[in-house]
Structure 1
Amino acid sequence: MTPTNFDEEKEDLLHRIVQARRKLEELRASGPKPAPEIKIETEIKKPEFKIEESERLKLEAEEEIRKIIEKKPEIPEAEIIKPLPILPEEKPEILFKPKLEPIIRTMHQDIAELKPKTTEPLKPITPPIAVPLPQRFSPAKTPQVLPKNFFKIIFAGLIAVLFLALIGGSVGWYFKYQPALPRIKKLEAPESFIRSEKNTVIELATLNEKTIRQAVQNETVSLEKNTFKEIYFKKSFAEQFCRFGKCVNVSREKFIASKDFFQALEIRAPESFFESLEPEFNILIFNQNDQPRRGLIFQSRDLEKTRFALETWPDIINDLAFLFEGIPIGIEAKAQPFKDGLYQNISFRSIDLGGFNSSFDYFFFPAKNIVILSSSGDLTRELINRLLGQPEIIPSIIEIIPEQTIPSPKPIFP
């Protein structure tokens, strides 16, 4: 209990005692029986009792105080409400304060001892805040002591890095400098000059007359009526590819050159003829009313040299018998000279072979640097129409000029 609360309770108790005393005096004056006088001793000595008697006195004192406080004298309400006159010479607080103070103090002490002791709630323990002391001088830096195995760890790390670098360099060198296989591009039929309906690439395992004739015969049988087919021959060969001392075998493909084709068929052509041509060529097959006709298409490097080689070819009909397979040729036809003709402003040279629409023709198309050998007049006309952008066959309007009337044997170009 704080001092302030104690003073307030003490004053309140004194005030109640004074009021009770006044009420008792008034009752004594008005009643028939005078109330006994209350003697209050000013000096109170502290009694020396045993422990049991002191406890009994404490209880009796508390009971008397309780009775005084709870006692309700039968006084009219008007008199209770009416304030009591206070004489100027009377000062109740001063009069009774020195007399009752020791009693009240003793009573409060006894009451405090009788009350059960209550423990205050525990407060959270807050750690003390360490306040750093001001440093007058900076502490001396202690040298860092390296662990005993520090250099061993560094050495082991360097060895591991060198080992990994060696392995990575070896693997990189192997993949970078090993002989890489070149990309093998599959050969496909080139763009057709005459816009033929079908293009075929035939791979020959062995290049000889038998395999060539058999392949051409198979393609001829499957050809539809009045359609063109171009045939290209190719072969595979092994090539050794070496790099940094290592070699690997690579399989490549290439088109068969005209010279190899002629040699396989034992065609004796002038060497100047092959020198004036590009290596690649193709065979034409034209199914004319179920009568197949064959032709050859070459791309020329020099048209004049090619023309001269054809004009100076001594036995061209017999050598190119492959084109006239299945067509009867008379002895008189082989001895005839070439005749010059003109169709769609394209000049050509022709020999009549005596059979049904059978002839040997050749002409040049300078716009594309090509030369074509044909085994039929209808085939020649169809080829010219396709080269000029007219795929349909136009009725034959061919002007044949006798050879003796031509001042020069050179072909007439458009």
Structure 2
Amino acid sequence: MHMRIAALAACLAAFLACAPAMAADRLTLDDAIRRVEQAHPDLRLVGAKRDVLAAGLDQASLRPPLVLGASVENVMGTGDRRFLDSAEATVTLASVFERGGKLEARRTLAQSRIDALAVDREAKRLDLLAEVARRYLAVVAAQRQRDVAVQDIAQRRRTVAGARHRFTAGASPQSVVFAAEAALSRAELERARAQQRERSARQHLAALWGERDPQFAVASGNPYALPALEAFSALSAWLDRTPEIVQFTGERRIREARLQLARSQATPDWSWEVGARHFREGNDVGVLASISIPLGSRSRAQPEIRAAEAELAMLEIERESRDLSLYSTLADAHGRYLSAQLEVRLLGREVIPKLGQAENAAERAYRAGAISYLEWAQLQSERTIARKQQLEAALEAQRALIEIQRLTGQPFVEGAATNEQGEDQ
């Protein structure tokens, strides 16, 4: 299990593989994961639960206690029984002799709960690891959105310069200059929004390990690096080994232990007592012993046995339901990944380069007076929209990849990651 978690942690950082080396003060995805593992209360809570369950195991291992008793009879009466003349003092030692394997059944139930806790911790750790990756990706997404805005600003500034040049030469009205400046302002607004989203995303990421005023900078990753996946049939085969399904094995042991404990209640326990009685008259001593066996234990245990059997049978239905849910989620994530991966590839190889060529040609034509400002501005807008579309598709693919890795606990990388940025190289 730990090897699978480590493999998943390495793969969740896949989109950082193509990033340049960063300064030591830059927070990487691995750094974020380590901070969460050390500080997140959900993981510390598992340790506290283990202490509670360990105490429960110690308690379950205790045998019925010995009971020391004492009684005095025939005192403070009348006639011959005045004062202590006919007193009878009795000292007893009593306990319960457990039968039917109750002690072992209690131990098994307590131990099975402790064993299931380890799988539960790994499941929580896997979920947290995926959440770290999602929040880290949100920071990287804001950085890339800011980069797209910066590229758009550079385009718009060229438009403003060209519009002013044409206006100064008397080849176009001043309204064209105002329209170009307004488009530049919108691009600068989009950059400011992306910067604010990055700050919010960093705060959201830092909240996972309890940092309230994050000062770190996040190492910029490459969301366009999309690895190849194995076939869906191979991915779905790993679902049986995911912690969400493995947990049912531990739960089965717990419910089987409950059933065994319920069945043990059908065997009655024997209550025994031994002691000595002192008779004041004659100063005699007698030994006493008793044993008592409750009747009807088998019939009284039947409702609890039936309930335990029903819970055990219901577990298989619950497992089947969870398996169907995981399979459906995996199928959806796999489809979204492939669709987004295809979109990133086509936009990067076909659409964005051609729009870049068209925009450059339009700029030359505009400066030569062959086309209007609107035609040039329209091509700039389309190029920016295509970049945003490709970035959103890449982010969607990364989110789907994180979900696939969370469900399966496997990297599933067949070949080198693709780099379909679609930007002018």
TM over 0.5: no
Rg larger in structure: 1
Question: TM-score normalized by structure 2?
Answer: 0.17
Normalised to the residue count of structure 1, the TM-score between the two structures is 0.17
Give 1 or 2: higher strand fraction: 1
Q: Which has the higher contact order (CA 8 A, sep 6+)?
A: 2
More helix by share: 2
